[in-house]
Structure 1
Amino acid sequence: MSRAENRLEITRAIQETARRHLAEVGPAALSLRAIAREVGMVSSAVYRYFPSRDDLLTALIVEAYDEIGAAVEAADAGVRRRSDLAERFTAVCHAVHDWARANPHEYALLYGSPVPGYAAPETTIPSAARVPGTLLRIAEESERAAQELGAPTRAVSAREHRALGGVRPALDVDLSDERLVRWLMAWKTLFGHTSMELYGHMHRGILDYDAHFSQVIAQLAADLGLSS
C-alpha cells in the first residue's frame, strides 16, 4: 500500500469513527483524543490528519452535504420524463426526507442547532449548495415553461425584492420575484417539516408520517404551479 493510500485509509477510519461518536455524544462533545483511542492511534498522531476538532467537523459536514446532495441529484436524474417537473420535485423532496431518516445525526449536524464555537468555512459552500441548486434548476425550468404559480400569489414589495439579491447570482434565468419567494418557501417547508418529524415535534399528532409528508409535498408542488 502506498503512503497516499495508507493516509486515505486512516482518514476514512477517523471519519467513520467520528460519525459513530457524533451519534453518541453530539458534535459539541466530539473529541479527537477519544476518536484516536478507538482507531488505535496515539492522540498526537490524529492531529496530522485533522489539526483540530473544527477541521474534523468540517470534513464531516462536507461529507454529509455531499451525501445528501448526491441522493437528491440521483433522484432528480432518475425521473424518466424530464419535462414532468412535479415528478422531479417530488422525487427530490422524498430523497431529502429519506436521507434524513437514514442519517438523523448527520442531518442534525447540517440543519440542527449550531455547534458552539464552530463557524463553517467557505469550503463547505459548494457541497451545501447541491440540494438548493437542484431545487432551483427545477424552478428555472418551470419559469422557462411559463407554468403559472398556484393562486393566490401576493405581490412582492420593493424591500423583499432587495432582500432576494443574495440568491439571484446563483440563478441561470431571471426568476420572477413571486416565483423565487414561492420556491424559497417550499425549500424551507421541506426542511422544516423534516426537522419537526425527526425531532419528535409531531409525535402522536401525525399518525402516519409517510402519508402526511406525501400530502405536504403534493400541496407544495401545486403551490409552485408544477403540472404533472
Structure 2
Amino acid sequence: MRVSGTSTTDENAGLPEVIKTAARQLLVKLGAGGLSLAAVAEGSGLAVAEVEAVFPHRDDLLTALLIDVYNESGAAMEQAEQAAREANAPAGARLLAATRALRQWSFDNPGEFTLIYGSPVPEYHAPQDTVPPASRTPAVLAGIIRSALEAGELTPPRRVLAGPPLLRPEAVELFGGLPEAPFSDVIERGIVLWSNLIGLLVFQVFSRTHDSVRDEAAFFDYAIAVAAEGVGLMVPLDEHTD
C-alpha cells in the first residue's frame, strides 16, 4: 500500500487509471450501484482524499468507467469487423465477426458488461459525454448494413413500415441518411437487430440460456443469423462448438 502524500508527479498522473482499475475489479463483487469512493480507495491502496481529488463524486467515477467500457467494447467490434473486411468477407460474415467479438468481450468482462447493459444505477444519470462512446456499437452495425445496402447484399423485406419513419434525427445521421424504398425502414430494422444482439448477450452472460441450449456459442451465431434476416442480410454459418 502506498502511503498518502508520497506520490510523485508521475504517480499522480497515473492515479486515474489506478482508481479505475480498482473500481472495475469491484464491479463484479459490489455491482455499479454498490460502488463507493471509500471502497475504491481501500481496493487501490489510496486514501479517500486522493480518490476524491481525481473523482470528486461517485458519479464522476461511474462516468469515466462508462466511457472506458463503451470505448473498449466498441473497439473490439470495430477491430473484428475491420479484419473481416480486409479479408474481403461479405457483410454477413463481417456482422458475425463483430458480434462474436462483442460476445467474447462481454464474457471476459462481466462486471463491465453489467455496468453498461444491466440495471440502471439508482440516482445516476449518464451525461452527454457518454453518448459518443456508447454509439460505437450501433455505429458498427449501421456501417455493415449501410455497406451491404450499397453493395446490393440486402434482400428487400416482405413487410414495410406503414407511415412515417419512427426515428430520431441522430439515428438517421448515424446511418448516413434515410434509404430509399424498398429499404426505407432499414434503420428501424437495424435498431431491432441491435436490441436483439444486446438482449441475447444479456441472456448468455447472465446464464439464461445455459439450461435451454447445449451449445451457446453455436446458438449465438444462429440467433444473429436469424436477427440479421430482419434487415435482409444473410449471415453464413459454419460448424461452431464451445
TM-score with structure 1 setting the length? 0.90
Match of 1:110 among 93, 112, 116: 116
Q: Write the letter of the residue equivalent to 2:161.
A: V
Query: What whole-Å deviation, never above 9, does each CA across 1:117-168 have from its counterpart, x for those lacking one?
Result: 00000001111111111111111112212333365x3121225x14454411
CA contact (8 A) 1:149 1:225 kept: yes
User: Unaligned stretches of 5+ in structure 2?
Assistant: 1-6, 237-242
Query: What whole-Å deviation, never above 9, does each CA across 1:17-71 have from its counterpart, x for those lacking one?
Result: 1111111111111110122123222212211100100000111111111110110
The structure whose RCO (Cα within 8 Å, separation 6+) is larger is 1
Question: Could you say which residue in structure 1 is the equivalent of 2:144?
Answer: 138
Question: Could you say which residue in structure 2 is the equivalent of 1:171?
Answer: 175
Match of 2:66 among 54, 61, 64: 61
Question: Could you say which residue in structure 1 is the equivalent of 2:216?
Answer: 209
- Give aligned-pair identity as a percent: 30
Q: In the aligned structure 1, how far is the partner of 2:74 from the partner of 2:67?
A: 10
Question: Could you say which residue in structure 1 is the equivalent of 2:26?
Answer: 21
Pairing 1:147-158 to 2, within 5 Å after superposition: 147-149=153-155, 151=157, 153-158=158-163
CA contact (8 A) 1:30 1:53 kept: yes
CA contact (8 A) 1:75 1:92 kept: yes
CA-based RMSD: 2.0
Q: How many residues align?
A: 225
Q: In the aligned structure 2, how far is the partner of 1:86 from the partner of 1:187?
A: 14
Match of 2:53 among 48, 51, 56: 48
Q: Name whichever structure is richer in helix by fraction.
A: 1
Q: Write the letter of the residue equivalent to 2:206.
A: Y
Q: In the aligned structure 2, how far is the partner of 1:140 from the partner of 1:38?
A: 45
Structure 1 residue 87 corresponds to structure 2 residue 99: no
TM-score with structure 2 setting the length? 0.85
Q: In the aligned structure 1, how far is the partner of 2:153 from the partner of 2:45?
A: 58
